[in-house]
């Protein structure tokens, strides 16, 4: 086998593709973050995680990199500025950040701070989000776009906010809202800035596409738009109509779909303008995709760059406006995912593993075994390249037989155990022989999926990667260290919840744009932690995350790089402790302790528990209520099954390859 190196790891995990120049592997074999691209400073994630743990920040840790947000804002604004300049388009670009993508206060503040130079605004999709926008936005040049379901209170607040100097546009998402806006405006004597959201017929594409046409939840049909224009005209308010908006869904993988939507949207714009509305803005919504797998050709990816996106939008608007001889509108986009996804990564430790691969199997006296075990043993011993196809089919059949014979009471538990071990040993051998042989790809693929090891990971899919569970979204996942070593195991990842859905068994494949059923990882080393990270988790995951099994928010840190090559921690956001998640479901700390205390009192009276045992129990109980909801490295050991077993020469041996990280005193 040839030598392994960090370049091979980079290819294997695709980091140079999905990393978007923000993430690299360094010479030590660690992942590093480079927010300003190749020429800027770098921060070693492995060392960072060690430093953070020394400061008492606990695994799993959500790492946020404000520098990446800055870079993404500059990228997007820069792409539009270039497109506009080159095309001699006469409008300007004005981005707004849709708060729903990640509402965390520090992150919103970072966006407004970095976006100030580009007059970046905010998009609110609900009343609470409008309340955030009104408080946080103090840049009079920036827009606040109000979308979503609106009631009178929402509309009045948006109107009055103009008196604070806020540049608020109320977008009519449903026809009935228009009358409410007109009424409120008369009542308050404030002229509104109104937008119309058009229902496009052009379908989006990909996993997140909105239902289009008459089925879509939001937007006005052509006939509603015509009636709306007439209504405003009758009220002499047509000058208030300033903006046309549309949104065809998130993570649009194909530029063709985007172009088709912009064309239709631009036609709406031109027609409404021709009806007498002095429109100033076109708002093309969100949908700008993130390349989660680096392939450039799947639903998890994009077949276009940010520059192409900007160029196409500008070119289409320009040509339609020029054709109709109307002024070029300012362009608003509501990119959320594309602004914040890269800025966050979740780092977690692997607590232990169970291994399926069986390298060696011998039966001391085969003739004493059941027919089935003997047959399997024969297959195992005589397996070769020539008979692999035939034996594979036998194997599948024997596997079915094993279960049936056991169910009928013909096969003992001990014989079933041997049969299953033999199955693993045969499968391991087949995979070994089939590797590198294109004709045996199918066989290898089906067996490899079954042979994947299980890595027990210290996080909750439901809390930290809800879209992985809910809609099978793929995220790039990889170890953050040991990348100069060949990964010698294939694993699926399971989380801490008791839910059988709490796992990740689909991983990106940057080369094919497909997915693969396992991740290549390194063997765990006793006494040494193994750190992995899920990247590009900054969009949607945090707020959709839930408290399944009462695993709460993780610790989060905002880390900025300094000029001198160091870093500083801007914020530490402590995750939930147990009593906080219990309070969400109405359990009160004092009450819980009181109940347990009473139970100990009566048991002391009955003599079933001693005073010192009772005290120990209460101490543990109180400490438990104040602890992190995830496992700490020291305490992880007793909870996890020591499932790793390796069979050599017919004997089970427990290998000490248990939970990693009992020694966390590694320093740089």
Ligand X SMILES: *Cc1c(COP(=O)(O)O)cnc(C)c1O
Kindly tell me which residue out of 206, 253, 286, 502 binds ligand X, with binding defined by CB under 6 A. Answer: 286
Site for ligand X in 233-272 (CB under 6 A): 247, 250-251
Alpha-carbon dihedral angle through residues 321, 327, 330, 331, given to the nearest 10 degrees = 0
d(CA 362, CA 377): 8
Nearest CB to ligand X, comparing residues 251 and 454:
251
Residue from 156, 151, 78, 161 nearest 120 by CA: 78
Tokens representing residue 431 in the block: 């995979």
Residue 335 CB, nearest distance to ligand X (Å)? 4
User: Among 153-161, 177-185, 333-341, 649-657, which window interacts with ligand X (CB under 6 A)?
Assistant: 333-341
User: Among 157-165, 225-233, 279-287, 362-370, which window interacts with ligand X (CB under 6 A)?
Assistant: 279-287
User: Among 80-88, 283-291, 462-470, 508-516, which window interacts with ligand X (CB under 6 A)?
Assistant: 283-291
Nearest CB to ligand X, comparing residues 293 and 555:
293
Kindly tell me which residue out of 300, 335, 463, 468 binds ligand X, with binding defined by CB under 6 A. Answer: 335
d(CA 634, CA 457): 15
Kindly tell me which residue out of 121, 125, 195, 228 binds ligand X, with binding defined by CB under 6 A. Answer: 125
User: Among 285-293, 306-314, 374-382, 589-597, which window interacts with ligand X (CB under 6 A)?
Assistant: 285-293
Nearest CB to ligand X, comparing residues 36 and 543:
543
Residue 315 CB, nearest distance to ligand X (Å)? 21
Residue 493: beta bridge partners? Answer: 455, 504
Kindly tell me which residue out of 192, 287, 476, 487 binds ligand X, with binding defined by CB under 6 A. Answer: 287
d(CA 386, CA 539): 50
d(CA 531, CA 351): 10
> Site for ligand X (CB under 6 A): how many residues?
19
Is 352 near ligand X (CB under 6 A)? no
Residue from 334, 13, 373 nearest 197 by CA: 334
Nearest CB to ligand X, comparing residues 290 and 431:
290
For residue 532, report the phi and psi dihedrals to the nearest 5 degrees. Answer: -125, 165
Site for ligand X in 191-210 (CB under 6 A): none
Is 72 near ligand X (CB under 6 A)? no
Residue 610 burial by Cβ neighbours in a 10 Å radius (0-12, 13-18, 19+): exposed
Residue 111 CB, nearest distance to ligand X (Å)? 13
Residue nearest to ligand X (CB): 286
Task: List, in order, residues 6 or more apart from 478 with CB less than 8 Å away.
Answer: 9, 13, 15, 31, 519, 532, 533, 535
Residue 538 CB, nearest distance to ligand X (Å)? 11
String of b and e for 648-664 (b: at least 16 CB within 10 Å)?
eeeeeeeeebbbbbeeb
Nearest CB to ligand X, comparing residues 143 and 238:
143
Is 98 near ligand X (CB under 6 A)? yes
User: Among 234-242, 331-339, 363-371, 602-610, which window interacts with ligand X (CB under 6 A)?
Assistant: 331-339
Is 147 near ligand X (CB under 6 A)? yes
CB-based contact 40:24 (threshold 8 Å) = no
* Rg of the chain, C-alpha, whole Å: 30
Nearest CB to ligand X, comparing residues 208 and 530:
208
Give the H or E element holding residue 242: strand 241-245
Task: List, in order, residues 6 or more apart from 112 with CB less than 8 Å away.
Answer: 120, 122, 136, 137, 139, 142
d(CA 408, CA 72): 62
Is 101 near ligand X (CB under 6 A)? yes
Nearest CB to ligand X, comparing residues 287 and 294:
287
Residue from 229, 228, 154, 163 nearest 190 by CA: 163
Nearest CB to ligand X, comparing residues 13 and 118:
118
Nearest CB to ligand X, comparing residues 301 and 335:
335
Nearest CB to ligand X, comparing residues 125 and 294:
125
Q: Return the sign of the alpha-carbon dihedral for residues 535, 106, 110, 218.
A: positive
DSSP 280-321: -EEE--S-----SSS-SSSTTS-SS-HHHHHHHHHHHHHHHH
Residue 249 CB, nearest distance to ligand X (Å)? 7
Nearest CB to ligand X, comparing residues 341 and 483:
341
Could you identify the residue written with the tokens 């497909």?
514
User: Among 84-92, 332-340, 558-566, 585-593, which window interacts with ligand X (CB under 6 A)?
Assistant: 332-340
Taking residues 520 to 549 in sequence order and writing x for each that binds ligand X by CB under 6 A, - otherwise, the string is: -------------------x----------
Give the H or E element holding residue 366: none
Kindly tell me which residue out of 19, 35, 336, 661 binds ligand X, with binding defined by CB under 6 A. Answer: 336
Kindly tell me which residue out of 337, 429, 482, 644 binds ligand X, with binding defined by CB under 6 A. Answer: 337
Is 334 near ligand X (CB under 6 A)? yes
Is 94 near ligand X (CB under 6 A)? no
Residue 311 CB, nearest distance to ligand X (Å)? 18
Residue from 251, 316, 256 nearest 285 by CA: 251
Nearest CB to ligand X, comparing residues 32 and 334:
334
Give the H or E element holding residue 73: helix 66-87
Nearest CB to ligand X, comparing residues 265 and 286:
286
Residue 348: beta bridge partners? Answer: 532
CB-based contact 351:458 (threshold 8 Å) = yes
Nearest CB to ligand X, comparing residues 101 and 107:
101
Binding interface with ligand X (CB under 6 A):
98, 100-101, 123, 125, 147, 247, 250-251, 285-288, 334-338, 539
């Amino acid at each position: 086998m040839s030598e392994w190196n960090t370049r091979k790891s980079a290819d294997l995990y695709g980091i140079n593709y999905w990393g978007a120049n923000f993430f690299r592997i360094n010479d030590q074999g660690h992942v590093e973050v480079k927010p300003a691209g190749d020429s800027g400073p770098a921060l070693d994630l492995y060392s960072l995680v060690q430093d953070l743990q020394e400061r008492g920040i606990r695994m799993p840790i959500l790492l946020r990199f404000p520098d990446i947000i800055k870079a993404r804002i500059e990228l997007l604004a820069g792409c539009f500025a270039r497109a506009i300049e080159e095309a001699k388009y006469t409008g300007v670009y004005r981005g707004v950040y849709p708060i729903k993508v990640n509402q965390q206060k520090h992150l919103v503040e970072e966006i407004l701070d970095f976006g100030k130079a580009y007059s970046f605004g905010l998009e609110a999709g609900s009343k609470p989000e409008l309340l955030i926008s009104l408080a946080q936005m103090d840049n009079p040049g920036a827009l606040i776009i109000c979308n979503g379901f609106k009631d009178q209170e929402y509309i009045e607040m948006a109107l009055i906010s103009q008196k604070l100097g806020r540049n608020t546009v109320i977008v009519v998402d449903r026809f009935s809202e228009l009358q409410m806006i007109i009424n409120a405006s008369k009542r308050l004597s404030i002229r509104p800035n109104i937008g119309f959201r058009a229902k496009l017929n052009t379908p989006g594409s990909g996993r997140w596409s909105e239902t289009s046409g008459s089925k879509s939840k939001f937007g006005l049909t052509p006939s509603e738009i015509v009636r709306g224009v007439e209504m405003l005209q009758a009220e002499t308010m047509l000058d208030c109509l300033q903006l046309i908006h549309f949104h065809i869904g998130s993570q649009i993988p194909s530029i063709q779909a985007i172009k088709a939507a912009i064309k239709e949207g631009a036609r709406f714009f031109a027609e409404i303008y021709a009806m007498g509305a002095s429109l100033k803005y076109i708002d093309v919504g969100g949908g700008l995709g993130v390349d989660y797998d680096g392939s450039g050709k799947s639903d998890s990816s994009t077949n276009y760059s940010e520059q192409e996106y900007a160029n196409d939008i500008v070119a289409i608007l320009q040509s339609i406006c020029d054709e109709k001889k109307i002024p070029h509108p300012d362009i608003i986009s509501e990119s959320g995912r594309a602004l914040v996804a890269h800025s966050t990564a979740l780092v977690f430790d692997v607590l232990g593993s169970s291994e399926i691969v069986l390298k060696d199997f011998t039966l001391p006296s085969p003739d004493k075994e059941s027919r089935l075990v003997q047959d399997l043993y024969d297959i195992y011993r005589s397996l070769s390249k020539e008979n692999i196809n035939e034996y594979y089919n036998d194997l599948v059949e024997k596997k079915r037989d094993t279960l049936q014979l056991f169910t009928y009471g013909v096969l003992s538990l001990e014989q079933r155990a041997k049969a299953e071990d033999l199955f693993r040993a045969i499968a391991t051998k087949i995979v070994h022989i089939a590797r590198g042989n294109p004709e045996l790809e199918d066989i290898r693929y089906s067996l490899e999926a079954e042979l994947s090891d299980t890595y027990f990971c210290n996080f909750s899919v439901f809390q930290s990667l809800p879209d992985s569970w809910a809609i099978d979204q793929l995220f790039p996942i990889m170890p953050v260290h040991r990348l100069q070593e060949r990964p010698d195991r294939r694993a699926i990842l399971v989380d801490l919840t008791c839910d059988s859905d709490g796992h990740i068994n689909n991983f990106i494949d940057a080369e094919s744009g497909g997915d693969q059923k396992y991740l290549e990882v390194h063997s765990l080393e006793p006494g040494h932690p193994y750190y992995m990270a899920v990247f590009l988790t900054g969009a949607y995951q945090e707020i959709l995350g839930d408290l399944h099994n009462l695993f709460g928010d993780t610790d989060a840190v905002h880390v900025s790089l300094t000029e001198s090559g160091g870093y500083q921690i801007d914020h530490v956001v402590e995750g939930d402790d147990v009593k906080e998640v219990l309070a969400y479901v109405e359990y009160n700390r004092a009450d819980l302790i009181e109940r347990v205390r009473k139970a100990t009192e009566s048991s002391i009276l009955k003599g079933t528990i001693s005073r010192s045992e009772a005290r120990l129990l209460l101490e543990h109980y109180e400490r438990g209520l104040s602890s992190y909801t995830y496992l700490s490295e020291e305490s992880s050991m007793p909870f996890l099954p020591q499932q790793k077993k390796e069979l050599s020469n017919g004997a089970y041996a427990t290998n000490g390859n248990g939970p990693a990280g009992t020694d966390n005193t590694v320093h740089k």
